[in-house]
Amino acid sequence: MSSPEPRDTIESIDTQILELLRERCRVMAHKSASNAESDWAGTLASIDRLVNQNEANEVTGNATVCPEDQRSVLRHVASACWRATRSGNFAFLGPPDSYSHLAALAYFGEAANLLPVPSIGAVFDAVERGDCAGGIAPIENSTDGRVVDTFGRLSKGKVSITGEVQLAIHHQLLAMCDRDAITEVHSKPQAISQCRVWLANHLPNAKLIECSSTAAAAKLAVTQPGVAAIASEAAGRRHGLRVIGANIEDNRDNITRFAVLGHDQPAATGNDKTTLLFQVAHQPGTLADAMGIFKQHELNLTWIESFPQPGTPNEYFFVVEFPGHREDPAVAKAIEHLKSATHHTHVLGSYRRAARAES
Protein backbone atom coordinates (compact mmCIF):
# COMPACT_ATOMS: atom_id res chain seq x y z
CA MET A 1 0.00 0.00 0.00
CA SER A 2 1.46 3.37 -1.01
CA SER A 3 2.17 6.01 1.60
CA PRO A 4 -0.10 9.10 1.66
CA GLU A 5 0.83 12.05 -0.48
CA PRO A 6 2.56 14.87 1.47
CA ARG A 7 -0.27 17.28 0.63
CA ASP A 8 -2.87 14.89 2.01
CA THR A 9 -0.81 14.51 5.19
CA ILE A 10 -0.46 18.29 5.64
CA GLU A 11 -4.18 18.84 5.03
CA SER A 12 -4.96 16.14 7.56
CA ILE A 13 -2.72 17.85 10.13
CA ASP A 14 -4.29 21.24 9.36
CA THR A 15 -7.74 19.72 9.86
CA GLN A 16 -6.65 18.49 13.27
CA ILE A 17 -5.28 21.94 14.11
CA LEU A 18 -8.65 23.51 13.25
CA GLU A 19 -10.48 20.92 15.37
CA LEU A 20 -8.15 21.67 18.29
CA LEU A 21 -8.72 25.41 17.78
CA ARG A 22 -12.48 24.89 18.11
CA GLU A 23 -11.92 22.75 21.19
CA ARG A 24 -9.71 25.46 22.72
CA CYS A 25 -12.46 28.01 22.21
CA ARG A 26 -14.98 25.69 23.87
CA VAL A 27 -12.73 25.25 26.92
CA MET A 28 -12.16 29.03 27.18
CA ALA A 29 -15.89 29.71 26.92
CA HIS A 30 -16.55 27.20 29.72
CA LYS A 31 -13.89 28.80 31.95
CA SER A 32 -15.37 32.23 31.34
CA ALA A 33 -18.89 31.06 32.19
CA SER A 34 -17.72 29.39 35.42
CA ASN A 35 -15.61 32.42 36.46
CA ALA A 36 -12.49 30.28 36.46
CA GLU A 37 -9.08 31.96 36.51
CA SER A 38 -8.40 32.91 32.88
CA ASP A 39 -6.67 36.28 32.88
CA TRP A 40 -4.56 37.24 29.90
CA ALA A 41 -1.37 37.65 31.93
CA GLY A 42 -1.78 34.09 33.17
CA THR A 43 -2.25 32.91 29.58
CA LEU A 44 1.02 34.51 28.52
CA ALA A 45 2.86 33.00 31.47
CA SER A 46 1.43 29.58 30.60
CA ILE A 47 2.62 29.93 26.99
CA ASP A 48 6.13 30.81 28.18
CA ARG A 49 6.25 27.77 30.46
CA LEU A 50 5.00 25.49 27.71
CA VAL A 51 7.52 26.74 25.12
CA ASN A 52 10.41 26.56 27.61
CA GLN A 53 9.45 23.02 28.57
CA ASN A 54 9.11 22.04 24.92
CA GLU A 55 12.52 23.55 24.14
CA ALA A 56 14.14 21.63 26.99
CA ASN A 57 12.67 18.38 25.66
CA GLU A 58 13.40 19.11 21.99
CA VAL A 59 15.17 16.35 20.05
CA THR A 60 18.07 17.88 18.15
CA GLY A 61 18.55 17.26 14.46
CA ASN A 62 14.85 17.47 13.50
CA ALA A 63 13.24 20.36 11.63
CA THR A 64 11.39 22.45 14.15
CA VAL A 65 9.93 25.90 14.74
CA CYS A 66 12.15 28.19 16.83
CA PRO A 67 10.95 29.05 20.36
CA GLU A 68 10.11 32.68 19.56
CA ASP A 69 7.97 31.63 16.60
CA GLN A 70 6.29 29.03 18.82
CA ARG A 71 5.42 31.80 21.27
CA SER A 72 4.16 34.01 18.45
CA VAL A 73 1.89 31.28 17.07
CA LEU A 74 0.49 30.37 20.48
CA ARG A 75 -0.07 34.05 21.38
CA HIS A 76 -1.99 34.53 18.14
CA VAL A 77 -4.07 31.41 18.78
CA ALA A 78 -4.78 32.59 22.33
CA SER A 79 -5.82 36.07 21.21
CA ALA A 80 -8.07 34.62 18.49
CA CYS A 81 -9.78 32.37 21.05
CA TRP A 82 -10.04 35.28 23.47
CA ARG A 83 -11.83 37.39 20.86
CA ALA A 84 -14.13 34.48 19.98
CA THR A 85 -15.20 33.85 23.58
CA ARG A 86 -15.08 37.27 25.25
CA SER A 87 -16.30 40.72 24.40
CA GLY A 88 -14.21 43.80 24.99
CA ASN A 89 -11.59 46.03 23.43
CA PHE A 90 -8.10 47.01 24.53
CA ALA A 91 -7.26 50.70 24.33
CA PHE A 92 -3.97 52.14 23.12
CA LEU A 93 -2.59 55.58 22.27
CA GLY A 94 -3.29 55.80 18.54
CA PRO A 95 -3.42 56.07 15.68
CA PRO A 96 -2.58 52.60 14.27
CA ASP A 97 1.14 51.89 13.74
CA SER A 98 2.12 54.12 16.67
CA TYR A 99 4.60 52.52 19.02
CA SER A 100 1.80 52.06 21.54
CA HIS A 101 -0.04 50.10 18.85
CA LEU A 102 3.00 47.90 18.27
CA ALA A 103 3.29 47.31 22.02
CA ALA A 104 -0.40 46.38 22.19
CA LEU A 105 0.06 43.89 19.35
CA ALA A 106 3.09 42.39 21.09
CA TYR A 107 1.11 41.87 24.30
CA PHE A 108 -2.51 41.20 23.31
CA GLY A 109 -1.83 39.55 19.92
CA GLU A 110 -2.84 40.46 16.40
CA ALA A 111 -6.33 38.96 16.76
CA ALA A 112 -7.27 41.18 19.72
CA ASN A 113 -9.82 43.97 19.35
CA LEU A 114 -7.54 47.00 19.71
CA LEU A 115 -9.08 50.46 20.04
CA PRO A 116 -7.02 53.58 19.22
CA VAL A 117 -7.70 56.61 21.43
CA PRO A 118 -6.26 60.15 21.19
CA SER A 119 -4.36 60.47 24.48
CA ILE A 120 -2.89 58.63 27.47
CA GLY A 121 -5.71 60.05 29.57
CA ALA A 122 -8.24 58.55 27.17
CA VAL A 123 -6.64 55.11 27.62
CA PHE A 124 -7.15 55.38 31.38
CA ASP A 125 -10.70 56.72 30.94
CA ALA A 126 -11.68 53.79 28.74
CA VAL A 127 -10.38 51.25 31.26
CA GLU A 128 -11.73 53.06 34.33
CA ARG A 129 -15.24 53.33 32.86
CA GLY A 130 -15.22 49.71 31.76
CA ASP A 131 -15.51 50.65 28.10
CA CYS A 132 -12.40 48.52 27.47
CA ALA A 133 -11.26 45.30 29.12
CA GLY A 134 -7.74 46.68 29.35
CA GLY A 135 -5.31 49.14 27.88
CA ILE A 136 -1.67 49.98 27.39
CA ALA A 137 0.27 53.19 28.03
CA PRO A 138 3.96 54.18 27.91
CA ILE A 139 5.56 54.41 31.32
CA GLU A 140 9.29 54.97 30.70
CA ASN A 141 11.79 55.45 27.89
CA SER A 142 15.47 54.62 28.25
CA THR A 143 16.43 57.92 26.58
CA ASP A 144 13.77 60.38 27.76
CA GLY A 145 12.90 58.85 31.14
CA ARG A 146 9.51 58.60 32.82
CA VAL A 147 6.17 59.43 31.22
CA VAL A 148 4.57 61.85 33.66
CA ASP A 149 1.03 61.64 32.21
CA THR A 150 0.90 57.90 32.87
CA PHE A 151 2.04 58.19 36.49
CA GLY A 152 -0.32 61.07 37.11
CA ARG A 153 -3.23 58.78 36.33
CA LEU A 154 -1.80 55.72 38.05
CA SER A 155 -1.48 57.76 41.26
CA LYS A 156 -5.28 58.07 41.39
CA GLY A 157 -5.48 54.31 42.03
CA LYS A 158 -8.48 53.57 39.79
CA VAL A 159 -6.70 50.99 37.60
CA SER A 160 -3.82 48.60 38.18
CA ILE A 161 -0.75 47.57 36.26
CA THR A 162 -1.42 43.98 35.15
CA GLY A 163 1.56 43.50 32.84
CA GLU A 164 4.32 45.22 30.92
CA VAL A 165 5.92 45.37 27.47
CA GLN A 166 9.57 46.20 26.87
CA LEU A 167 9.59 47.45 23.27
CA ALA A 168 12.82 48.19 21.43
CA ILE A 169 12.18 51.45 19.57
CA HIS A 170 13.66 51.69 16.08
CA HIS A 171 12.94 55.00 14.36
CA GLN A 172 12.82 55.24 10.58
CA LEU A 173 13.05 58.45 8.53
CA LEU A 174 10.20 58.09 6.05
CA ALA A 175 9.34 60.21 3.02
CA MET A 176 8.14 60.15 -0.57
CA CYS A 177 11.11 62.23 -1.78
CA ASP A 178 14.89 61.90 -1.69
CA ARG A 179 16.87 63.04 1.36
CA ASP A 180 18.22 66.20 -0.32
CA ALA A 181 14.63 67.35 -1.00
CA ILE A 182 13.54 67.12 2.66
CA THR A 183 12.83 70.54 4.22
CA GLU A 184 10.78 69.48 7.28
CA VAL A 185 10.86 66.50 9.64
CA HIS A 186 7.68 65.82 11.60
CA SER A 187 7.18 63.53 14.58
CA LYS A 188 6.15 63.50 18.23
CA PRO A 189 8.56 65.36 20.57
CA GLN A 190 10.04 62.20 22.11
CA ALA A 191 10.91 60.69 18.73
CA ILE A 192 12.62 63.89 17.56
CA SER A 193 14.56 64.05 20.83
CA GLN A 194 15.74 60.46 20.41
CA CYS A 195 17.15 61.21 16.92
CA ARG A 196 18.68 64.67 17.38
CA VAL A 197 22.30 63.67 16.72
CA TRP A 198 21.42 61.83 13.51
CA LEU A 199 19.25 64.72 12.32
CA ALA A 200 21.97 67.27 13.07
CA ASN A 201 24.52 65.24 11.12
CA HIS A 202 22.37 64.32 8.13
CA LEU A 203 19.63 66.98 7.87
CA PRO A 204 21.09 70.07 9.58
CA ASN A 205 18.93 72.51 7.61
CA ALA A 206 15.61 70.72 7.96
CA LYS A 207 12.98 72.25 10.21
CA LEU A 208 11.93 69.96 13.07
CA ILE A 209 8.18 70.10 13.70
CA GLU A 210 6.47 68.37 16.61
CA CYS A 211 3.08 66.69 16.16
CA SER A 212 0.74 64.44 18.09
CA SER A 213 2.17 61.05 17.09
CA THR A 214 4.67 59.28 14.85
CA ALA A 215 1.85 57.63 12.92
CA ALA A 216 0.18 61.00 12.24
CA ALA A 217 3.52 62.31 10.96
CA ALA A 218 3.78 59.39 8.54
CA LYS A 219 0.30 60.07 7.20
CA LEU A 220 1.20 63.73 6.61
CA ALA A 221 4.42 62.84 4.78
CA VAL A 222 2.42 61.09 2.07
CA THR A 223 0.75 64.28 0.85
CA GLN A 224 3.17 67.10 1.76
CA PRO A 225 6.14 67.61 -0.62
CA GLY A 226 9.46 67.89 1.20
CA VAL A 227 8.05 66.53 4.47
CA ALA A 228 9.61 63.51 6.16
CA ALA A 229 8.39 61.64 9.22
CA ILE A 230 10.13 59.83 12.04
CA ALA A 231 7.98 56.78 12.62
CA SER A 232 7.88 52.99 12.76
CA GLU A 233 8.59 50.70 9.85
CA ALA A 234 4.96 49.54 10.09
CA ALA A 235 3.73 53.10 9.55
CA GLY A 236 5.93 53.37 6.48
CA ARG A 237 4.51 50.17 5.02
CA ARG A 238 0.93 51.25 5.66
CA HIS A 239 1.36 54.56 3.82
CA GLY A 240 3.75 53.43 1.11
CA LEU A 241 6.62 55.67 2.27
CA ARG A 242 10.26 55.11 1.45
CA VAL A 243 12.80 54.48 4.19
CA ILE A 244 15.25 57.36 3.74
CA GLY A 245 17.18 56.54 6.92
CA ALA A 246 16.89 53.26 8.84
CA ASN A 247 17.20 52.94 12.62
CA ILE A 248 18.17 56.60 13.11
CA GLU A 249 17.75 56.58 16.91
CA ASP A 250 20.87 57.90 18.65
CA ASN A 251 20.72 55.22 21.36
CA ARG A 252 20.89 51.73 19.89
CA ASP A 253 19.40 50.35 23.10
CA ASN A 254 16.41 52.71 22.92
CA ILE A 255 13.61 50.92 24.78
CA THR A 256 10.18 52.12 25.85
CA ARG A 257 8.43 50.29 28.65
CA PHE A 258 4.64 50.13 28.50
CA ALA A 259 2.28 49.41 31.38
CA VAL A 260 -0.65 47.10 30.69
CA LEU A 261 -3.69 48.47 32.50
CA GLY A 262 -6.69 46.68 33.97
CA HIS A 263 -8.59 45.80 37.13
CA ASP A 264 -7.31 42.25 37.72
CA GLN A 265 -4.58 41.13 40.09
CA PRO A 266 -2.50 38.58 38.16
CA ALA A 267 -1.40 35.52 40.09
CA ALA A 268 2.28 34.96 40.85
CA THR A 269 4.29 33.30 38.09
CA GLY A 270 7.70 33.04 39.73
CA ASN A 271 9.10 35.74 37.45
CA ASP A 272 7.32 38.86 38.67
CA LYS A 273 7.88 42.45 39.69
CA THR A 274 5.92 44.82 41.91
CA THR A 275 5.36 48.52 41.40
CA LEU A 276 4.11 50.56 44.34
CA LEU A 277 3.55 54.18 45.27
CA PHE A 278 3.93 55.76 48.71
CA GLN A 279 3.82 59.17 50.39
CA VAL A 280 5.74 60.21 53.48
CA ALA A 281 5.46 63.11 55.88
CA HIS A 282 7.47 66.19 54.88
CA GLN A 283 9.90 65.80 57.77
CA PRO A 284 13.63 65.02 58.09
CA GLY A 285 14.43 61.33 57.83
CA THR A 286 11.00 60.04 56.80
CA LEU A 287 12.05 59.10 53.28
CA ALA A 288 15.25 57.43 54.52
CA ASP A 289 13.23 55.44 57.03
CA ALA A 290 10.84 54.28 54.31
CA MET A 291 13.68 53.24 52.02
CA GLY A 292 15.28 51.32 54.84
CA ILE A 293 12.25 49.04 54.96
CA PHE A 294 13.13 47.58 51.56
CA LYS A 295 16.66 46.86 52.74
CA GLN A 296 15.36 45.28 55.91
CA HIS A 297 13.19 42.87 53.89
CA GLU A 298 15.97 42.23 51.34
CA LEU A 299 14.11 43.71 48.38
CA ASN A 300 16.32 45.11 45.62
CA LEU A 301 14.88 48.34 44.22
CA THR A 302 15.28 48.38 40.43
CA TRP A 303 13.54 51.71 39.79
CA ILE A 304 12.87 54.81 41.91
CA GLU A 305 10.99 57.94 40.82
CA SER A 306 9.53 60.96 42.61
CA PHE A 307 6.62 63.11 41.46
CA PRO A 308 5.21 66.34 42.88
CA GLN A 309 1.76 66.07 44.38
CA PRO A 310 -0.64 68.42 42.56
CA GLY A 311 -1.67 71.41 44.69
CA THR A 312 0.75 70.63 47.52
CA PRO A 313 4.07 72.51 47.23
CA ASN A 314 7.18 70.57 48.34
CA GLU A 315 5.16 67.38 48.75
CA TYR A 316 6.00 64.34 46.62
CA PHE A 317 4.89 60.81 46.06
CA PHE A 318 7.45 58.09 45.31
CA VAL A 319 7.21 55.14 42.94
CA VAL A 320 9.48 52.12 43.33
CA GLU A 321 9.83 48.75 41.61
CA PHE A 322 11.45 45.53 42.78
CA PRO A 323 11.45 41.82 41.83
CA GLY A 324 8.78 39.72 43.47
CA HIS A 325 5.01 39.45 43.80
CA ARG A 326 2.71 41.00 46.39
CA GLU A 327 1.79 37.44 47.46
CA ASP A 328 5.43 36.55 48.23
CA PRO A 329 5.96 36.52 52.03
CA ALA A 330 8.87 39.00 52.01
CA VAL A 331 7.02 41.41 49.73
CA ALA A 332 3.79 41.17 51.73
CA LYS A 333 5.65 41.89 54.98
CA ALA A 334 7.47 44.86 53.44
CA ILE A 335 4.19 46.35 52.19
CA GLU A 336 2.56 46.05 55.61
CA HIS A 337 5.64 47.59 57.24
CA LEU A 338 5.63 50.43 54.71
CA LYS A 339 1.95 51.17 55.36
CA SER A 340 2.70 51.75 59.03
CA ALA A 341 5.58 54.13 58.22
CA THR A 342 3.97 56.28 55.51
CA HIS A 343 0.97 58.52 54.94
CA HIS A 344 -0.18 56.35 52.08
CA THR A 345 1.02 53.18 50.35
CA HIS A 346 -0.65 51.74 47.27
CA VAL A 347 0.42 48.73 45.20
CA LEU A 348 0.10 49.76 41.57
CA GLY A 349 0.53 46.17 40.47
CA SER A 350 2.35 42.84 40.71
CA TYR A 351 2.81 41.26 37.31
CA ARG A 352 4.98 39.08 35.12
CA ARG A 353 8.30 40.61 34.05
CA ALA A 354 8.50 41.09 30.31
CA ALA A 355 11.18 40.11 27.84
CA ARG A 356 12.27 42.62 25.20
CA ALA A 357 10.18 42.83 22.02
CA GLU A 358 11.23 44.42 18.71
CA SER A 359 9.26 47.21 17.04
Secondary structure, 3-state, the chain: CCCCCHHHHHHHHHHHHHHHHHHHHHHHHHHHHCCCCCCHHHHHHHHHHHHHHHHHCCCCCCCCCCHHHHHHHHHHHHHHHHHHHCCCCEEEECCCCCHHHHHHHHHHCCCCCEEEECCHHHHHHHHHHCCCCEEEEEEEECCCEECHHHHHHHCCCCCEEEEEEEEECCCEEEECCCHHHCCEEEECHHHHHCCHHHHHHHCCCCEEEECCCHHHHHHHHHHCCCEEEEECHHHHHHHCCEEEECCCCCCCCCEEEEEEEECCCCCCCCCEEEEEEEECCCCCCHHHHHHHHHHHCCCCCCEEEEEECCCCCCCEEEEEEEECCCCCHHHHHHHHHHHHHCCEEEEEEEEECCCEEEC
pLDDT range class, residue 223, cuts 50, 70, 90 = very high
The model's confidence at residue 6, banded by pLDDT at 50, 70 and 90, is: low
Look at residue 359 in the predicted model and tell me its pLDDT: 72
Residue 332: pLDDT band (50, 70, 90) is very high
Higher pLDDT, 284 or 57: 284
Q: How far is CA 124 from the centre of its chain?
A: 14
Q: How confident is the model at residue 37 (pLDDT cuts 50, 70, 90)?
A: very low
pLDDT higher at 325 or 69: 325
Question: What are the C-alpha distances in Å from 145 to residues 105, 203, 274, 314?
Answer: 23, 26, 19, 22
Taking 50 as the threshold, does the pLDDT of residue 35 lie above it?
A: no
Instruction: Give the model's confidence band at 61: pLDDT under 50 very low, under 70 low, under 90 confident, else very high.
Output: low
Looking at residues 117-134, what average pLDDT do you find?
94
Predicted pLDDT of residue 177? 95
Work out the mean pLDDT of the chain and round it to a whole number. Answer: 89
pLDDT band at 32, cuts 50/70/90? low
Beta carbons within 8 Å of 7's beta carbon, 6+ residues apart: none
